[in-house]
């Protein structure tokens, strides 16, 4: 490779003006240095198209100057600024009908205040401090994206490290530190010392690619969630939470239920979650520790990543999406990871089951279709929406409790046997939490549910449900084990989710083809006036 070839390569990479500037920088180097750089990587130069795509990716990610690139590299493995911009861009079109009016704000405040009054009668925990917010999809994105990025950071870091290994031979030798290969030396801008190493630039490509997918998923999820605790964890800085009024209106319309009734139900859910997280300071750190343990154990299949890169049409973030998709390049979970994920699922089930127990007790005298709304929410939590499945594939975290029904029954049994104070006392320490059936020896106060105990499909005995008198019979007269069937569905669904947002629920979720009520009709969800509580 002679210097004329290097000159032409720079023109093709950076254009006639900046390419000539790069050549002038190169030509001013001592001859010995020029010869050494030309001989690196076997004299092979990176593909000019790939170099252009990488530099354009940084600009698209809002990194317009070397200083901004360096700052992004130092801040972490995800370009959070870009992820937020993309997510907000996705919800912007829908925000014209999602602005918060004074009436919306007043309705949310009234619903949350009323929910806390109802909860005061059944819960020993105080209301969360602060005032719950009336949210738009955009304010939900703004408030929660930092939390999602924190959960995703360990996986993104593993992805970036793997990307450096796989792309190293395509962009020049990558020794530790210093200027390496033909890629770093002739960059036509005065790069800071921290960016002269191609490893840093490849890491920036990875963080940009990851941010694009994270932003797209967050923007899509903003149209699916109803409040800040929909995933069972605390995501907003505001401990009192908030409700997305636009989504609640659309949800009520889809169910053909009264909007105020749906708002009251979801406010109860939000307020109960807020009380729990405000009263149990170890709860959110526990989730973060478990998910961090899982994510730090993520191992990347380098051959699979190489295959995905070869399928990419260009070395840019959009084309590189498959190469940083954990569902396509992640190795099989280790026993330690499986243990951590079981811990996450169990803790989520206990949180959501506790909330479900309180919502039932607080709302049964006030919300006419409480049973149907609870059942719909349980199914949605079990299967997850398209964006939630995309998150799961992207960051390897499953925030869908598979054993919510069992957990709700456990908390109901504890409440019936020992009262609310004893139930809340169990949140004093993780070791005091009740075990779920099958997880170990059961405490006498938390016996597993059996068919002879009159357990309804919703997990509450017929004698306690407001519509029990309208049932033709108690218990599981149809012989269906709801928890087992949902577990089978989820286990099969996890294998088929590919990160595109098209999960198994689109074909055979419990709300579509499964004849969950045993009547042979294959309902797609309860219509107004019917549901598991009225069967």
Instruction: Report percent pLDDT > 70 for the chain.
Output: 62
pLDDT score at 414: 97
- Give the mean pLDDT of 61-78: 61
Is the pLDDT confidence value at 198 over 90?
A: no
Is the pLDDT confidence value at 257 over 90?
A: yes
Q: Using pLDDT thresholds of 50, 70 and 90, give the confidence band for residue 422.
A: very high
Domain ranges of the chain: 3-43, 57-178+192-299+334-392
**Local confidence band at 530 (pLDDT 50, 70, 90 cut-offs):** very low
Give the global pTM: 0.71
Question: Which two tokens mark 484?
Answer: 């087992």
Phi, psi of 170 (to 5 degrees): -90, -20
Distances (CA, A) of 519 to 477, 506, 523: 12, 22, 9
Specify the pLDDT at position 327: 77
Kind and range of the H or E run holding 134: strand 133-135
Residue 50: pLDDT band by 50, 70, 90 thresholds?
Answer: low
> What pLDDT does residue 69 have?
57
SS3 call for 297: coil
d(CA 427, CA 421): 11
In this predicted structure, the answer to whether residue 197 has a pLDDT above a threshold of 80 is no
Q: Which residue has the tokens 């009740």?
A: 434
Say how far apart CA 370 and CA 265 lie, in whole Å: 7
Task: Tell me what pLDDT residue 119 has.
Answer: 98
Size (the chain), residues: 535
The answer to whether the beta carbons of residues 425 and 443 sit under 8 Å apart is no
pLDDT reading at 21 higher than 50 = yes
Q: Which helix (H) or strand (E) holds 191?
A: none
**What DSSP state is assigned to residue 244?**
E
pLDDT of residue 189: 41
Q: How confident is the model at residue 203 (pLDDT cuts 50, 70, 90)?
A: confident
Tens digit of pLDDT for each residue in 205-249?
A: 778 888 888 888 898 899 999 999 998 999 999 999 999 999 999
Closest residue by Cα to residue 180 from 362, 40, 360: 40
**Could you give the CA distance from residue 22 to residue 34 in angstroms, rounded to a whole number?**
13
Band (12; pLDDT cuts 50, 70, 90): confident
> Could you please report the per-residue DSSP string of 459-481?
SS-GGGSTTGGG-SSSS-TT---
Question: Among candidates 411, 475, 421, which has minimal Cα distance to 443?
Answer: 411
d(CA 72, CA 79): 6
How far, in whole angstroms, is CA 341 from its chain's centroid? 14
Helices (H), 76-134: 80-92, 102-120
pLDDT above 80: residue 494: no
Whole-number pLDDT of residue 51: 61
The fraction of the chain above a pLDDT of 90, given in percent, is: 33
The pLDDT tens digits of the residues spanning 453-483 come to: 333 333 333 333 333 333 333 333 344 454 5
Q: 258 phi and psi, to 5 degrees?
A: -65, 135
Residue 99's pLDDT band (boundaries 50, 70, 90)?
confident
Is the pLDDT higher at 389 or at 56? Answer: 389
Averaged pLDDT for residues 360-372: 96
Nearest to 535 by CA among 482, 480, 481, 458: 458
**Pick from 383, 369, 398, 382: which is nearest to 466 by CA?**
369
pLDDT for residue 98: 62
| In contact, 410 and 446? CB cutoff 8 Å | yes
What are the residues facing 133 on neighbouring strands?
242
Q: Mean of the per-residue pLDDT values for the chain?
A: 74
For residue 435, give the nearest of 410, 458, 461 by alpha carbon.
410
Contact in structure between 352 and 436 (CB atoms under 8 Å): no
Distance CA 343, CA 349 (A): 10
Position 452 scores a pLDDT of 32
Q: Residue 185 pairs with which residues in a beta bridge?
A: none
Supply angle C-alpha 473, 478, 480, rounded to 5: 130
Please say if the pLDDT value at position 515 is more than 50. no
């Amino acid at each position: 490779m002679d210097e004329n070839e290097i000159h032409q390569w720079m023109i093709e990479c950076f254009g006639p003006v900046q390419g000539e500037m790069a050549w002038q920088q190169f030509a001013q180097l001592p001859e010995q240095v020029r010869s050494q750089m030309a001989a690196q990587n076997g004299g092979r130069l990176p593909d000019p198209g790939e170099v252009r795509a990488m530099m354009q990716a940084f600009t698209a990610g809002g990194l317009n100057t070397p200083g901004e690139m360096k700052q992004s590299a130092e801040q972490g493995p995800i370009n959070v600024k870009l992820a937020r911009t993309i997510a907000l861009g996705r919800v912007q079109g829908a925000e014209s009908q999602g602005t918060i009016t004074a009436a919306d704000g007043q309705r949310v405040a009234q619903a949350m205040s009323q929910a806390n009054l109802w909860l005061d009668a059944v819960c020993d925990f105080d209301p969360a401090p602060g005032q719950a917010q009336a949210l738009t999809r955009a304010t939900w994105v703004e408030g929660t994206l930092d939390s999602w990025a924190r959960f995703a950071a360990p996986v993104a870091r593993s992805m970036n490290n793997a990307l450096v290994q796989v792309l190293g031979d395509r962009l020049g030798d990558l020794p530790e530190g210093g200027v390496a290969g033909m890629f770093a030396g002739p960059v036509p801008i005065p790069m800071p010392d921290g960016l002269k190493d191609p490893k840093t630039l490849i890491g920036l490509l990875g963080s940009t690619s990851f941010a694009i997918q994270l932003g797209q998923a967050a923007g899509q999820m903003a149209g699916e969630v109803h409040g800040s605790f929909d995933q069972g964890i605390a995501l907003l800085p505001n401990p009192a939470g908030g409700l997305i009024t636009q989504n609640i209106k659309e949800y009520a319309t889809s169910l053909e239920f009264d909007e105020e009734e749906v708002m009251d139900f979801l406010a109860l859910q939000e307020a109960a979650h807020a009380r729990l997280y405000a009263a149990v300071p170890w709860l959110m750190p526990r989730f973060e520790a478990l998910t961090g343990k899982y994510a730090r154990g993520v191992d990347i299949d380098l051959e699979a990543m190489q295959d995905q890169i070869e399928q990419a049409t260009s070395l840019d973030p959009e084309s590189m999406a498959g190469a940083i998709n954990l569902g396509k390049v992640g190795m099989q979970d280790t026993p330690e990871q499986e243990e951590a994920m079981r811990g996450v699922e169990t803790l989520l089930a206990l949180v959501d089951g506790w909330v479900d127990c309180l919502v039932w007790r607080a709302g049964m005298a006030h919300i006419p279709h409480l049973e149907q709304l609870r059942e719909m929410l349980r199914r949605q939590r079990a299967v997850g929406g398209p964006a939630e499945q995309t998150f799961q594939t992207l960051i390897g975290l499953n925030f869908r409790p598979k054993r919510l029904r069992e957990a709700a029954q456990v908390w109901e049994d504890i409440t019936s046997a020992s009262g609310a104070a004893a139930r809340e006392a169990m949140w004093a320490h993780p070791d005091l939490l009740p075990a779920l059936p099958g997880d170990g020896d059961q405490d006498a106060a938390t016996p597993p549910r059996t068919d002879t105990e009159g357990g309804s499909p919703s997990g509450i005995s017929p004698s306690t449900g407001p519509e029990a008198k309208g049932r033709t019979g108690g218990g599981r007269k149809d012989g269906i084990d709801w928890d087992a069937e949902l577990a089978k569905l989820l286990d099969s669904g996890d294998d088929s989710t590919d990160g595109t947002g098209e999960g198994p629920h689109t074909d055979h979720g419990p709300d579509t083809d499964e004849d969950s009520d045993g009547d042979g009709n294959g309902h797609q969800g309860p219509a107004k006036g019917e549901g598991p509580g009225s069967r």
